[in-house]
Amino acid sequence: MPFLELVNVKKQFGGVRAVDDVSLAVEEGEFLVLVGPSGCGKTTLLRMIAGLEETTDGTIIIAGKDVTAREPGDRDVAMVFQNYALFPHMTVFDNMSFGMRMAGVPKTEIESRVSEAARFLQLTDMLKRKPAQLSGGQRQRVAMGRAIVRRPNAFLMDEPLSNLDANLRVQMRAEISRIQKDLGVTTVYVTHDQIEAMTMADRVAVLHKGILQQAASPAILYDEPANVFVASFLGSPSMSLVEAGVEATASGVTLKVGPQSIQLSRADIERFPKLPALSGKRVVVGLRPEDIGVAEAQLPEPGYALFGDLPAQVVLTEMLGADEIVYAQVEADWVSSPQLRALLAAADPLTTADSDPSRKERRPLMICRSSRRTATVRRGDHIRLCADLTRLHLFDSSTGLSLRASGGSASSAAMAAPIARNITRKV
């Protein structure tokens, strides 16, 4: 039985639907991360779980009990906020023990719980200090300690690392994961940072405009995104997306990408059983940067196929040490549906700004990650691109939903749900 269940949960603030019919189950001990762009409803959803925000509709179940109408204090969950909300005039010990003292927990029990949590959080030598005498990371650990000593059924964390500098974030990321695994407490964690989501979570739930897009393990989200929004939002640099025509023939299926025809193998087609029926229609083709190569350097590597002679011109290169990221404009069509373009602009403003079809001189970008040992290209170079077609992603060009057979994604929620309310389901 799941530990936390959200059933058709909705939240309306006047004319704004902040959370739109979200259903999601979190297993006991699971680390679930809610992620999405600003304003997607993640904080509102977390506050509803905590009882700090009333639900407009739907049911919230914690440990088998319907808590939808219960006060926050009756839910046995502990919130950890972005601003640590420590009392500045109190010592670390007093901050950590405050809730227990208010609840009348005996002194010896308080001391034992605080010293256990302090040992765990490496704060033992700092119990007499005040918050002003601590670093940001230490303050965050005190805030965690205050939640841990309560021994709650669940932790609810709202962007707890966003006030820390980049190095400390990486360190605290690992620490929070370790603490959560050691304690085995069910945790729901909100962030807008996809790296945080992918590195910390057992499962990630992606939200956009209050709608749950997909909930799955980081690997499934990355390899089998349910729709173009998830595909574009997760991954850095993001997935390259272009529109292509489909032609089913007696010998198989051909994708027409710009001036090029790409013949798909039987195995490729098996992953997309709906594809032959889409003959004559358009689909959105997606490839991750690590699956695209500069043809002159990459071929003939096993698994790679020449992406026709897809004309491409390098507009930018980024040196990452061992690898180089090559941004190339290709002679192909970008996504034509205005609704999907709006979704993609929300998921990845950088790439879509360059691909805006209203700017006539612009062409869609394809982004490839090449080994610097094999590829040396420069801005302005004309190159040919190749791609690992076994890693191809295909999406419906009007609904944006994946055309992949859903068998491998049984754990993915929202596989067939609409991405946005104004896009009707077609597949």
Query: Given the rule CB under 6 A, which residues bind ligand ATP?
Result: 13, 16, 18, 36, 38-44, 192
SS3 403: coil
Q: Report, in Å, the least distance between residue 241 CB and ligand ATP.
A: 24
The answer to whether the beta carbons of residues 307 and 398 sit under 8 Å apart is no
Q: CA 165, 210, 235, 176 torsion: positive or negative? A: positive
Peptide bond into 300 cis (omega under 30): yes
Between 39 and 137, whose beta carbon lies closer to ligand ATP? Answer: 39
Q: Give the separation between CA 47 and CA 49, rounded to whole angstroms.
A: 5
Q: Report, in Å, the least distance between residue 213 CB and ligand ATP.
A: 13
From start to end of 182-251, where are the E strands?
A: 186-191, 203-208, 211-216, 240-249
Q: Report, in Å, the least distance between residue 64 CB and ligand ATP.
A: 27
Between 12 and 115, whose beta carbon lies closer to ligand ATP? Answer: 12
Q: Report, in Å, the least distance between residue 336 CB and ligand ATP.
A: 28
Q: Report, in Å, the least distance between residue 72 CB and ligand ATP.
A: 16
DSSP string, 341-365: HHHHHHH-HHHHHHH-TTSTT---E
24: nearest Cα among 11, 33, 36, 13: 33
Q: Give the separation between CA 53 and CA 63, rounded to whole angstroms.
A: 19
| Residue 423 parent element (H or E) | none
Q: Report, in Å, the least distance between residue 38 CB and ligand ATP.
A: 3
Lookup: tokens for 240? 């390259």
Between 18 and 156, whose beta carbon lies closer to ligand ATP? Answer: 18
The answer to whether the beta carbons of residues 327 and 202 sit under 8 Å apart is no
Between 47 and 404, whose beta carbon lies closer to ligand ATP? Answer: 47
Lookup: tokens for 329? 């404009």
Between 10 and 130, whose beta carbon lies closer to ligand ATP? Answer: 10
Q: Give the separation between CA 287 and CA 318, rounded to whole angstroms.
A: 19
Q: Report, in Å, the least distance between residue 189 CB and ligand ATP.
A: 12
Between 150 and 209, whose beta carbon lies closer to ligand ATP? Answer: 209
The answer to whether the beta carbons of residues 56 and 69 sit under 8 Å apart is no
Lookup: tokens for 81? 């906020």
Q: Using the structure block, give the residue that is written with the tokens 């869609």.
A: 364
Between 40 and 366, whose beta carbon lies closer to ligand ATP? Answer: 40
Between 79 and 126, whose beta carbon lies closer to ligand ATP? Answer: 79
The answer to whether the beta carbons of residues 153 and 186 sit under 8 Å apart is yes
Q: Report, in Å, the least distance between residue 344 CB and ligand ATP.
A: 18
Q: Report, in Å, the least distance between residue 31 CB and ligand ATP.
A: 19
Between 43 and 329, whose beta carbon lies closer to ligand ATP? Answer: 43
| Residue 234 parent element (H or E) | none
